[in-house]
Amino acid sequence: MAMSHTSKNRLCNLPPGTVIIGKWHGHSYRLLRRLGSGANGVVYLAENGRTRVAVKLSDDYASLASEMNILRRFAKVQGAALGPSLLEADDWQSPFARETVPFYVMEYIEGENFAAFIRRRGKEWAPVLVMQLLSVLDRLHQEGWVFGDLKPDNLIVTGPPPSVRLLDVGGTTLQGRAVKEFTELYDRGYWGLGSRKAEPSYDLFAAAMVMISSCCPGPIEKKGDGRAQLLSIIEADRFLTQYKDVLQKALDGRYRKAADMRRDLLAASSRHTSAKNERKAAPSRRSGRQVKRRRQARGIVETVVIAAALLGAYALYIYWQLAM
């Protein structure tokens, strides 16, 4: 269930400096700025003393409870940071609408938006970060979940070293069910390339779209045959063309595991790196051969000069002997 339009407008426009005080635990959080909003709530950056946290508010108790359960389950997965850490949950007696608003507090993950990071650092980082993302998705899928609403806005790059983290678990869905939340551009159903059934291949389609959209200079809008359009976008970009086989398999739903897509992406990236190094090495080899030829030519000239000098000296010696 999504928030009502009236409630969403009210919660989306809380002024900076608003203090959220928990009804049951008594902890206070001063809102600094809005981080984002979706169908199921609004997230603000807030301060609790000197600690920065993210606070999500909504009038939809059921959705918030579901998200908190997902975060608790994520926290039990060893060896992988699948999402932000859940800190606490409470209710707020809003003075603006005289209503009780449920909220939960989670870790604030500081970093840079995925697409913004790629624009600033270059396309070469896209496969590196997507491989990290696939590792996280693999763990998530092994736990029986699908992230669902996978898009650059729900990915943040922390570091150094650069590392991808998932944000906003509102779309996370148990495998086998219908995906709860999605964004059209990253949804295979929108492109006519599959259903909205929560399965690993749904996330892997979105992962391919994250890489494609992050490397494209302008917005992407569906026009006609979705598959043909996406393949033409890949083929028109010199960088993406090097990963065409992997991206095409993901778009067609031919990967069943994130680990398989990661393996193929790593192999394609290795080939790209090797070819790039080979191109760099070629001018050096040519330069080396040119230097060698110049040295050989200089050696020949020096030999001729020395020989000529010796012959001249010998001729003078013969002339001097005859003159005597």
Q: What are the CA-CA distances from residue 265 to residues 76, 129, 135, 256 (Å)?
A: 29, 11, 12, 15
> d(Cα 5, Cα 22) in Å, to the nearest integer?
24
- Out of 149, 168, 187, 203, which one is annotated catalytic? 149
The DSSP annotation for 118-151 comes to HHHH-TTHHHHHHHHHHHHHHHHHHTTEE--S-S
Cα 258 to chain centroid, rounded:
15
Enumerate the β-bridge partners of residue 92: 22, 101
Annotation marks residue 138 as catalytic: no
User: Which two structure tokens, joined as six digits, stand for 320?
Assistant: 């001097």
> d(Cα 22, Cα 88) in Å, to the nearest integer?
10
Q: What are the CA-CA distances from residue 224 to residues 150, 253, 280 (Å)?
A: 23, 20, 41
User: Which two structure tokens, joined as six digits, stand for 112?
Assistant: 């840079």
* Residues acting as catalytic residues: 149
